[in-house]
Amino acid sequence: MLFSIASILIVGLILGFLFEQLNLPSLLGMLLAGVLLGRSGFNLLDKNLLSISEEIRKLALIIILLRAGLGISKEILKKIGNTAFKLSLIPVMFEGVTILFLAIYILEFSWVEAGLLAFIIAAVSPAVVVPSMLKLKEERLGEEKEIPTLILASASIDDVLAITFFSIFLGVFEGGSLSVVSAIAQIPIKVIGGIVLGLIIGYLLIKFYNRYSNLDLTYQTVILFAIAIFTTVLGDYLKVASLLAVMTIGYLLLEENKKLANEFSGVLNKLWIPAKVFLFVLIGAAVQIDVAYQVSKVGILIIIIGLIARIFGVLISTIKSNLNFSERIFCAIAYLPKATVQAAIGAVPLAAGVPNGELILALAVMSIMLTAPLGAIGIDYFAPKLLKNKI
């Protein structure tokens, strides 16, 4: 396993650096490193490491979600609130419903299979979006209208919605309830539950830091990270939006202790360097090129039509906002990439015995291959052209 860890770090960093020299996002190089090291390439990664790759990816996500939460203030949320709410709901529903009908009529899926596929693919990727938006915040691009924060806030709930609907369709397949009312009721419960959980744990954490303020920053950061992991586990057990809870902890820390929050941000920025290598390399390693190739034409068609529906959803969500047309177009581009959710739950239908589970997995992989590079390159290329730099 040590060889695999070293390979991930060395190859991931080298290819990431090479892609940066070509003015391309480093994550593309890391994704390629994963493909080369994984089953679709030279198959050099230890099976024991791959068996816990989902947990490793989640640890990396916790770091970026803490970073995101530490950059969101109450004033910013008030400024973007209504638009963020619409962006978190409308685009994912547009894309999900579109793919659902396409799967029924083109692939001849049952409505349950179509729903599973639709809401696997419809989720936006925090692994691509969050680091990209944090980078824009550092460069102060779009900061005047808080566009990076707008996308950060809405993307997390977008994922909650997609995963909730996926869980509902999976429950129906496994013999669960068909009640539409109970299904819809799960969404606000998960969102509100995640926020409340984050506020409770965040409040207790702040009390601890205030009492033991003489602790070394390294110890304080380790405690923060450990508590964030515990929050994720507890949130999953309580069936609330655990990742949203992690962001809420960061938000509360910034509100209550800005100095400490800024210090945490500095440490987490450094931790993110090795974390992102593991995150993107392991996502790349999950990609199966041969399976994706089998459904390439139909898959690309369905994914592209779904993305067009998502773009329309973003444009509709931002009609009455303070964003100009260029900024609305950028929001649509930033909402394109998929990777994390698709890699995490793409194989669940196959494991559950869904008849078209292998095809659903192949299309999930296809969505990663098509949209992760497209979204990452699009964000990097269009941000300086479509967003204003705050002076």
Could you report the per-residue pLDDT of 269-285, keeping only the tens digit for each?
889 889 889 988 887 88
Residue pair 272/25 in contact by the 8 Å Cβ criterion: no
Q: Provide the pLDDT for residue 319.
A: 93
Give me Rg for the CA atoms of the chain: 20
Query: Rounded to an integer, what distance in angstroms lies between the CA atom of residue 276 and that of residue 279?
Result: 5
Alpha carbons 116 and 281: distance in angstroms, whole number = 26
Please report, for the chain, how many H helices and E strands are present, in that order. 18, 0
Number of structural domains found in the chain: 1
More confident residue, 109 or 68: 109
Residue 108 lies in domain: 54-386
What is the phi/psi pair of residue 328, to 5°? -65, -40
Strands (E), the chain: none
In a domain, 337, yes or no: yes
168, 186 contact by CB (below 8 A): yes
b/e per residue, 332-344, with b = 16+ CB within 10 A?
Answer: bbbbbbbbbbbbb
Q: How high is the pLDDT of residue 213?
A: 84
**Structure tokens, 165:** 């609907």
3-state class (DSSP) for residue 326: helix
Listed residue (119, 197, 219, 117) closest to 159, CA to CA: 119
Q: Is 389 helix (H, G, I), strand (E, B) or coil?
A: strand
Domain assignment of residue 21, yes or no: no
Task: Summarize pLDDT for 183-208 with one digit per residue, the tens.
Answer: 567 768 887 888 899 999 999 999 99
Is position 191 within any domain? yes
Question: Which one, of 157, 154, 268, lies nearest residue 221 by Cα?
Answer: 268
Query: Would you say residue 32 lies in a domain?
Result: no
Q: How far is residue 339 from each of residues 95, 129, 265, 335, 345, measured CA to CA in Å?
A: 16, 10, 24, 12, 10
CA atoms of 18 and 44, how far apart (whole Å): 21
Q: Is residue 193 in some structural domain?
A: yes
pLDDT at 152 over 70: yes
Range with lowest mean pLDDT among 43-52, 149-158, 259-268, 301-310: 149-158
Give the Cα separation of 134 and 266 in Å (integer): 13
Interatomic CA distance for residues 285 and 215, integer angstroms:
39
> Residue 365: inside a domain, yes or no?
yes
Express as a percent the part of the chain with pLDDT over 70: 93
**Is 27 within the bounds of a domain?**
no
Structure confidence at residue 155 (pLDDT): 85
The contacts of residue 391 (CB under 8 Å, 6+ apart) are 140
Q: Decide if 48 is inside a domain.
A: no
Q: Residue 123 is part of a domain; what is its CATH number?
A: 1.20.1530.20
Over residues 347-376, the mean pLDDT reads: 85
**Residue 390 corresponds to which tokens in the numbers above?**
């705050």
Written as six digits, the tokens of 100 are: 């659902």
